[in-house]
A = this chain, B = another copy of it.
Amino acid sequence: MTKVGILNVTGYAGSELARILHHHPEVIISSVTGRSASGQKLNEVFPHLADIDLVIEPELGASVDLVFSGLPHRASAEKVIPLLDDGIKVVDISADFRLKDPETYEQWYQTEHPRPEYLKEAVYGLTEIHRADIPKARLIANPGCYPSSAILALAPAIKEGIIEPDIVIDSKSGVSGAGRGLSLTTHFAEVNENLMAYSVEGHRHLPEIVQELGRLSTSPPAVMFLAHLVPMTRGILSSCYARLKDGAFPSSQEARETVVELYREFYKNESFVKVCSSPPQTKQTWGNNLCLVYPTVDVRTGRLVVISCLDNLVKGAAGQAVQNMNLMLDLHEATALEMLAIYP
C-alpha cells in the first residue's frame, strides 16, 4: 500500500481526493492537512467522510510516498518544493507548475516563481495528452478545470491541423469551481437564479490553454476564452468554435463526418474521454471522471463546433489527479475511478 498525503484536504479538491482515495485498493491516506480546521477530526468537518479516521494536521505528519496538493497557487509551491527536494512525488492541483515560462507565470499570478527549474521538470498532467511522460514524473502539474475541458475538446482538431488558429472558447462552470472560500460571488442568494461572465479581461486559465494547444500545433493559436458562472454545484461545459481551414474538406457535410472519425480515432484507447454521438450534458459526468466530447461542423458557416463536458472536481481536479497517480505508481489507470455518474 502506497502512503499518500493530502495538503489542504479542507478545500473542495482536497475533500474530493479523500472521497475517491478512500475506495482505492492500493493506497492509504496517511496524513492530511488543512488551512482551516487544523486539529479537528476529518469526519467532524466532513460528515460524508465519516469512515475516514484521520485528524487534520497543520503539517504533513507521517512519512508519505506521494503527496497531493489542494492548496491555492503560491501557497502550494511553498509547501511542495521542500517535499520535492526530499524526493517525494507530488501531484499539484494548483496552478504553480503548469506554465513552462516563468515570466508568463509571474505576469498572470503577480508573483515571482519560487523555483523556476521545477517548471521545466513538471509534467502537465492531462493524461490523454502527456501520458508518456507521467509514469516517470516526480512532479505532476494537474491541469485547471477549464483547460481540461478546452484542451480535450480541441486537441484532435489542432493536432490534425484542420482549423484556423483563431479559436473562441466559451466555458460555463458550476460554482464549486470557485472553491470553498467565502465570497459574495458564491453567496447563495447572489448566484442562485443568476448567470454571469467573469474575469472578462483575462482568466488565469487562458495561458495554460494557449501553452498546451500551442504545443500540439505548428502555429501558436489565438485563443479567446471567456468563463461564465452557472447556478449549479458541479460541472463545466465548454463550447469551442473555430473555422475549418479553407480547402481542408470537400464539403461541410463531409467535413462533419471526417471530423467525427478523426475524434473517435484520436481518443479510441481512452477510458475517460468519450466522443459522443449526441450533445453531452454536464449531468452525465456528475461525480465521475469522464470528459464527454461532441465534435460537429456547422454546415452554414463551415465552423468546427466542439462541446465538451466534465465534472470540475473529478476529471477537472481530484479524479484527474488520481488518474495521474495511478500511472506514477504503475497501477491500472482507472483504479478507483470506475464510478458511474449520479443521475438524476
Q: Are A194 and B298 in contact (CB under 8 A)?
A: no
With A195-B230, A196-B281, A300-B202 given, is the CB distance from A338 to B235 under 8 Å?
A: no
Contact partner of A196 (CB less than 8 A), chosen from B49, B187, B237, B298, is B237
Q: Are A186 and B189 in contact (CB under 8 A)?
A: yes
Q: Are A340 and B239 in contact (CB under 8 A)?
A: no
**Is A3 at the interface (CB under 8 A from chain B)?**
no
Q: Are B228 and A231 in contact (CB under 8 A)?
A: no
With A187-B188, A344-B12 given, is the CB distance from A168 to B241 under 8 Å?
A: yes
With A19-B340, A197-B239 given, is the CB distance from A224 to B301 under 8 Å?
A: yes
**Is A215 at the interface (CB under 8 A from chain B)?**
no
Task: Tell me the interface secondary structure of chain A in the complex.
Answer: mixed
**Is A46 at the interface (CB under 8 A from chain B)?**
yes
Q: How large, as a class, is the contact surface on chain A?
A: 35 or more
**Is A319 at the interface (CB under 8 A from chain B)?**
no
Question: What's the least CB distance linking A168 to chain B, in Å?
Answer: 5
Q: Are A284 and B342 in contact (CB under 8 A)?
A: no
Q: Are A15 and B196 in contact (CB under 8 A)?
A: no
Q: Which residues of B lie under 8 Å from residue A46 when comparing CB positions?
A: 343
